Structure 1
Amino acid sequence: MFTGIVEELGEIVAKDDLSDSARFTVRGPLVTSDAGHGDSIAVNGVCLTVVDVVDNTSFTADVMKETLDRSSLGALNVGSVVNLERAAALNSRLGGHLVQGHVDGTGRILSRTPSEHWEIVRVALPDPIARYVVEKGSITVDGISLTVSSLGVDDSGDYFEVSLIPTTLELTNLGRAKVGDPVNLEVDVIAKYVERLQLRG
């Protein structure tokens, strides 16, 4: 379980393509400092399991084909900048919201509108998960806990917008993301549980 508060910007330093998976080596000195084999670290919002720790600055993780297909991790290459977060401790503050690290779908950045003190980012919202997203609700974008500032529909389909403060722009990869870039999306798990209960009602 995570909180969606990015601890560190990391970098993909190696990517080994295997027959049905890939092994990533990710540099992130902070999140690696107390990591060990089997620990969970979210990479762009995807919960990955540490296989090995390299020089106390990097870790390796295996990513299966399903994860590569369902998330934007398959598009990562050496040099890609990624958001990193260690699993939450039970005695820590919940600064964001409950995040599982299980990506529900991918969107793409449709536009960026800068303002004096923040920036509005519009993201395409895939139809299968659009019903779970509400204005002023929580959504995770590339592992970042954000508040939905508005919802809408245009010629390409549903979209949502988030308003990013300077800290988010500086300390996460959304500050570098370009129009057209894919992003991992995880909706608030509570919405999915409520729907399930109603269907079985």
Structure 2
Amino acid sequence: MFTGIVQGVAQVATITDRPGLRSLLLRFPERFCEGLEIGASVACDGVCLTVTRLHDAQHAEFDVMQQSLGLTTLADLQVGSAINVERAARDGAEIGGHPLSGHVDFMATLAGIRRPENNHVLRIQVPQPWMRYIFAKGYIAINGASLTVAEADRKAGWFEVWLIPETLRATTFGGKAEGAALNIEIERQTQVFVDTVREALDERLGPLLPALEQLLAASGQSLDALAEPPKLGQ
């Protein structure tokens, strides 16, 4: 498990491709590798990878299987690429963000960037089926960083996050340009809540469900809105 608090930025030192497998040698910040062992888990841009070889105090190697390459941005990495990294949380660790599994659900696209004073706003375009799990004020993980959704437009298929200067300093987000692909992991409790409500509606309403969807659409509502989890503190 991970906390979504990025602990550093690593660089890709070498890439070795073999049939169905890619090996990444990463250079980590000083002291990041202290106590790191073969078999340990490290979140690399939000993807949980296993240490397969330790080279020295700042270098470790990871194998990435073909399925992970197809589902994440790791296939686009080049020598010199920078990625967000976090070591697996220890028992009793403070959860400064929210619990993450390191299993990326989908890739999204950085659709726009705004820079109000002392802030950095990312608008992220999402494949439509996944928007049902994204709500304003809810949690989401982007490239391994736990962030809060500021706004979400379910019909248009986008959401926004606001980044403070410290987040830009500690992560790779400041170097991202429009069109960049991003790894997204949705918040699991939200997913379970939404899916449970939708399944209950489907089970109870059955053939009436399409008519309800049409009625809600005519009034500017949706089943996803009905399934929205309660806001914190409510």
What TM-score do the two structures reach when normalised by structure 2?
0.81
CA distance in 1, matches of 2:164, 2:194: 32
- One-letter code of the match for 1:167? E
**2:33 matched to which residue of 1?**
32
Amino acid across the alignment from 1:52: R
Structure 1 residues 98-137: Cα deviation after superposition (integer angstroms, max 9, x where no partner):
1110000001111110011111110111223111111000
- What residue number does 1:176 align with? 175
Whether the 8 Å CA contact 2:15–2:79 is kept in 1: the answer is yes
CA distance in 2, matches of 1:196, 1:134: 14
Unmatched tracts of structure 1, length 5 or more: none
**1:87-126 superposed matches below 5 A:** 87-126=88-127
Q: Once superposed, what is the RMSD of the aligned Cα atoms?
A: 1.5
In the alignment, the residues of structure 2 paired with residue 159 and residue 22 of structure 1 have an alpha-carbon distance, to the nearest angstrom, of 32
Q: Secondary structure at the match of 1:102?
A: coil
Q: Which moved more, 1:182-191 or 1:122-131?
A: 122-131
Q: For residue 30 of structure 1, report the CA deviation from its aligned partner.
A: 3.4
Q: Which has the higher helix share?
A: 2
| CA deviation after TM superposition for structure 1 residue 92, in Å | 1.3
The equivalent of 2:66 in structure 1 is 65
Structure with the bigger percentage of strand: 1
Separation (CA, whole Å) in 1 of partners of 2:129 and 2:106: 8
Amino acid at match of 1:13: A
Q: What is residue 50 of structure 2 aligned with on the other side?
A: 49
Distance in 2 (CA, whole Å) between partners of 1:26 and 1:13 is 5
1:166 alignment partner in structure 2: 165
The residue type paired with residue 190 of structure 2 is A
In structure 2, C-alpha distance between the alignment counterparts of 1:30 and 1:161, rounded to whole Å: 33
- State the TM-score, normalized to the length of structure 1: 0.94
**Structure 2 residue 23 is the aligned partner of structure 1 residue 23:** yes
Identity of aligned residues (%): 33
Q: CA deviation at 1:153?
A: 5.6
Q: CA deviation at 1:189?
A: 0.7
Counterpart position of 2:133: 132
Q: What CA deviation, in whole Å up to 9, does each residue of 1:21-77 have, x standing for no partner? A: 200011114332221110000000000000011112111111011100001110011
What corresponds to 1:9 in structure 2?
A: 9
Separation of aligned partners in 1, 2:112 and 2:125: 10
AA paired with 1:170? R
Q: Which runs of 5+ in 2 are unaligned?
A: 204-234
Distance in structure 1 (CA, Å) of the matches to 2:35 and 2:130: 35
Counterpart contact for 1:53–1:59, Cα < 8 Å = yes
Instruction: Report the residue type matching 2:114 in the other structure.
Output: T
- The answer for the alignment partner of 1:193 in structure 2 is 192
What secondary structure does 1:31 align onto?
coil
Contact 1:32 1:53 in 2 (8 A): no
The one-letter code matched in structure 1 to 2:18 is L
Helix, strand or coil for the counterpart of 1:41? Answer: strand
Secondary structure (helix, strand or coil) at the match of 1:190 reads helix
Segments of 4+ moved more than 6 angstroms: none
Letter of the aligned partner of 2:127 in structure 1? P
Question: Residues of 1 paired with 2:147 and 2:31: CA distance?
Answer: 22
Inter-partner Cα distance in structure 2 for 1:30 and 1:15: 23
